[in-house]
């Protein structure tokens, strides 16, 4: 969430809490072999976004990405598989954006 809509301040605060929790878990439990990552997806073509799709069309969300397409659930799953593989263990504590560059940190 990019924080563009003041009506969703509570949503933005919850997302910030997830990021802080991820960092805390990574720092506190890292020596015990625990890794922690936060996934920050952009628009994902799921039933959760049905109302947006009905009002604006999926093309509107796709136009906001550098890839020109929206993410599918499998795109998010692929990142999670990579993070769970252990190959990314030194990235522990980070937030991974999976949004087609619609938001770049």
Instruction: Specify the pLDDT at position 21.
Output: 98
Average pLDDT over residues 56-74: 92
11 catalytic per annotation: yes
Q: Cβ distance 52 to 72 under 8 Å?
A: no
CATH of domain 6-98: 3.40.50.720
Of 8, 11, 29, 103, which is the active-site residue?
Answer: 11
DSSP3 helix / strand / coil % (the chain, rounded to 5): 55, 10, 35
Query: How far is 44 from 4, CA to CA, in rounded Å?
Result: 18
Q: Which residue has the higher pLDDT, 81 or 11?
A: 81
Residue 54 has pLDDT above 90, yes or no: no
């Amino acid at each position: 969430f990019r924080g563009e809509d003041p009506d969703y301040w509570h949503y933005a605060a919850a997302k910030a809490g997830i990021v802080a929790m991820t960092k805390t878990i990574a720092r506190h439990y890292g020596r015990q072999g625990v890794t922690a990552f936060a996934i920050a997806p952009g628009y994902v073509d799921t039933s959760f976004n049905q109302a947006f799709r009905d009002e604006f069309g999926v093309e509107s969300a796709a136009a906001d990405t550098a890839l020109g397409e929206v993410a599918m659930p499998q795109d998010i799953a692929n990142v999670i598989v990579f993070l769970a593989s252990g190959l990314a263990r030194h990235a522990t504590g980070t937030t991974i954006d999976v949004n087609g560059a619609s938001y770049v940190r």
